[in-house]
Amino acid sequence: MVELTNKQKDSFFQTGFFILPCVFNSDEISDMKNSFQALQKTAFSLANLHLERLKQQKETYIMHQGSQFVLGQIQRGTHSGQPAIRRVSWCGAAEPTLLRYGKDPRLLSVASQLLGSKKMSQLINQAHFKLPGDEVFFEWHQDSTHRGYGGKHWQDINGQGSYVQTLIALDEITITNGPVCFIPNSVKLGHLDLPENLNNCLATGKIRLEDAIPIEMQEGSLAVFHPYVIHGSEPNHSKETRQAFINGYAYPGANARKYPGEGAGRIVVSESA
């Protein structure tokens, strides 16, 4: 179990994120990496089978073995025309080891303390790849947009966001390989309907991208972030692979949306006090 300090809790609700170092050991990371390697092999095999779809669409969604493989095509550079892995949603269906780590007691205890509930709905179990030259990036956004805040699929039941996102670094995350960049204290702005409203927020000075902080992490470390914190990431400009394992948990009853993947939205329970 992981017992959070008051400072860490304050960082989540006020700054919008915090980092826990050395949560998973080298053997556990190796275990997860083996599953990521299998997913990567499957993803490229699927891409070769659907090359025409990749050419015609920005993102191609393929259900396989209970997971959703989201694939694209590199548009520029020396790797132009080659497939790229955007993400694998509910990756644990295809690789059960990742489903097991998705409900690891350490993750559940962290999410439980921040949500104020032992019982949670796990919405996210995703494999994110940034391979050298693949140009995969994530524009400035809030996870609240992806959860459906303001629509019929979501209710902020606990009044504090009702959602916790976690990111396990499977490789060292450096300034050059596409780290997640957070805008500190942006959580206080609430839900902003990004990225559609981004230009307006920039023009009015509500958001300052120059305030963003790139988060470097050692493998095995855990980033924990609030659904309102604004974040994004640039492509991997290094020669090394950058892999991240993302799991997200919602307060019971907050979500009414069906997420892709066999078993997505499962109920998990933390045993921590």
Which residue intervals of 61-129 are DSSP H helices? 96-102, 105-115
Buried b (16+ CB within 10 A) or exposed e, 165-184: bbbbbbbebbeebbbbbbbb
Please give the pLDDT value at position 13. 98
Asked whether residue 39 carries a pLDDT value surpassing 60, the answer given is yes
- Model pLDDT for residues 203-253, shown as the tens digit of each residue: 999 999 999 999 999 999 999 999 999 999 999 999 999 999 999 999 999
DSSP code per residue over 198-217: HHHHHHTTS--GGG-EE--B
- Model pLDDT for residues 123-151, shown as the tens digit of each residue: 999 999 999 999 999 999 999 999 999 89
Asked whether residue 273 carries a pLDDT value surpassing 60, the answer given is no
Domain boundaries, the chain: 13-22+90-253
* DSSP-derived secondary structure letter, 97: H
Level-2 CATH architecture, domain 13-22+90-253:
Sandwich (2.60)
Distance CA(6)–CA(14), nearest Å, equals 12
Q: For residue 128, how far is the Cα from the chain centroid? A: 7
**pLDDT, averaged across the chain:** 95
C-alpha pair distances (Å), 259 with each of 18, 57, 198 = 26, 21, 26
- Model pLDDT for residues 62-111, shown as the tens digit of each residue: 999 999 999 999 877 777 788 999 999 999 999 999 999 999 999 999 99
